[in-house]
Amino acid sequence: MSALLTVHGSQICFAVTARRGKLAPVDNANNSGIRSLSTTHNTRLLIIGAGPAGYTAAIYAARAGLKPLMVAGLQPGGQLMITTEVENYPGFAEAVQGPFLMEQMQKQAVHVGTEIIQDIITSIDLGGRPFRALGDSGDSYVADSVVIATGAQARWLGIPGEKELSGFGVSACATCDGFFFRGKTVAVVGGGNTAVEEALYLANLAKHVTVVHRRDSFRAERILQQRLFALPNVTVLWDTVVEAVLASEGQFPSARALVLRNAKTGAASELPLDGVFVAIGHDPATALFKGQVAMDAEGYIETVPGSARTNVPGVFAAGDVQDKVYRQAVTAAGTGCMAALEAEKWLAHHAEPVLT
């Protein structure tokens, strides 16, 4: 199997190492030199998060003359930084590397006038305007408007072999990586909507799909379950936990089997396969904003349908932080664009500039 795979989702980082990406520091006037004193940064638009949503918001906002300030974290990029091949981001006839894609987005954002600061926001006050945030560096950020684009992380099982084989037969995104398993044998772990949707998607591509679920019933919507049970190339293993992912021999090991245990009988078994998709949920990176913007029960930021507006005027959310359905780089970019356009309109009508 080729060295494939994405670890699902929409964020990214920069310069590439062999298996994991790492973005080079931003070549930005504000990042050059060492600052010994903390600084207060005033901006019309503060963008928090440096994935496709954040970068796209930055590109649109910069081109609209808002001079956005992006706080990109110490390892900008996010989930696409641990992605090798990306084949489904439009505009590239050949597959591109996730880190390369993010590097291009970063450069584009800087090129059109975004200021990027590598800092981590540790607290934020969205209770009154202007909005105020504090960075781990000691710097303060004062903003007329904010775009939250902090993303979400796929949950992992935490079992032997999973991390080592991530991108080599282990994935958390069927839409991203399913294509690489055409005609092959795969498993999906989980029993929620995501797991069943992933299995349905994969059943169109793979020879056989085994869904491995730790209980004896799915929590996925009944209609999805019905569709799944009707498929001839899908098997469900109930009451089964995955204990390890086994690797093939050779110079470039990839997943070759799962070690399983029946939760009721304790019986152990092995399931041979070419790939496994872990679909046990996601964690949106929203702890910072708890109690300040409306969120659903799972911690995703709620936006007004068809927009990037949150319940706090002047605060917008884009990308996986507010999306538990699509979770794609391209949809994150799309909502990043929406957030910037809406912020621009909102600023024109509501905010007195904080800039001096």
Closest-by-Cβ residue to ligand NDP is 192
Q: Is 191 one of the binding residues for ligand NDP (CB under 6 A)?
A: yes
Amino acid at the residue 274: D
Q: Specify the residue, 145 or 194, whose C-beta has the smaller distance to ligand NDP.
A: 194
Verify whether residue 176 is a known catalytic residue.
yes
- Amino acid letter for position 305: P
Among residues 157, 211, 271, 338, the one that binds ligand NDP under rule CB under 6 A? 157
Which one of residues 11, 118, 193, 254 is an interface residue with ligand NDP (CB under 6 A)? 193
**What's the closest the beta carbon of residue 22 comes to ligand NDP, in angstroms?**
28
CB atoms within 10 A of CB 297: 5
Enter the DSSP assignment of 30: G
Establish if 325 lies at the interface with ligand NDP (CB under 6 A): yes
Pick one of 88, 281, 288, 354: the residue that binds ligand NDP (CB under 6 A). 281
The closest alpha carbon to 69, from 135, 138, 24, belongs to: 135
Say whether 323 is catalytic: no
Q: How far is the CB of 315 from ligand NDP (least distance, A)?
A: 23
For ligand NDP, the binding residue among 85, 119, 197, 342 (CB under 6 A) is 197
Q: Residue 99 in contact with residue 51, Cβ under 8 Å? A: no
Whether 337 sits among the annotated catalytic residues: the reply is: no
Q: Is 324 in the site for ligand NDP (CB under 6 A)?
A: yes
User: Minimum distance between the CB of residue 55 and ligand NDP, rounded to whole angstroms?
Assistant: 25
Among 182, 215, 264, 345, binds ligand NDP (CB under 6 A): 215
Query: For the chain, what is the radius of gyration of the CA atoms?
Result: 21
Q: Are 77 and 99 in contact (CB under 8 A)?
A: yes
How far, in Å, CA of 322 to CA of 74, rounded?
22
Q: Give dist(CA 190, CA 277) in Å, integer.
A: 9
The answer to whether 78 and 6 are in contact (CB under 8 A) is no
Residues that contact ligand NDP, how many (by CB under 6 A): 18
Tell me the closest approach of the beta carbon of residue 324 to ligand NDP, in angstroms. Answer: 4
| Residue from the set 68, 99, 190, 334 that interacts with ligand NDP by CB under 6 A | 190
Q: Give dist(CA 287, CA 285) in Å, integer.
A: 6
Catalytic residue among 119, 144, 176, 323: 176
The Cα 323–Cα 341 span in angstroms is 18
Pair 257, 272: CB distance under 8 Å: yes
Scanning 189-197, 255-263, 332-340, 341-349 for contacts with ligand NDP by CB under 6 A, the matching segment is 189-197
Q: Which residue from 192, 201, 283, 288 is in contact with ligand NDP, where contact means CB under 6 A? A: 192
- Cα–Cα dist 59/36, whole Å: 30
> What positions carry a catalytic annotation?
173, 176-177
- Positions touching ligand NDP (CB under 6 A) are 157, 189-195, 197, 214-215, 219, 280-282, 298, 324-325
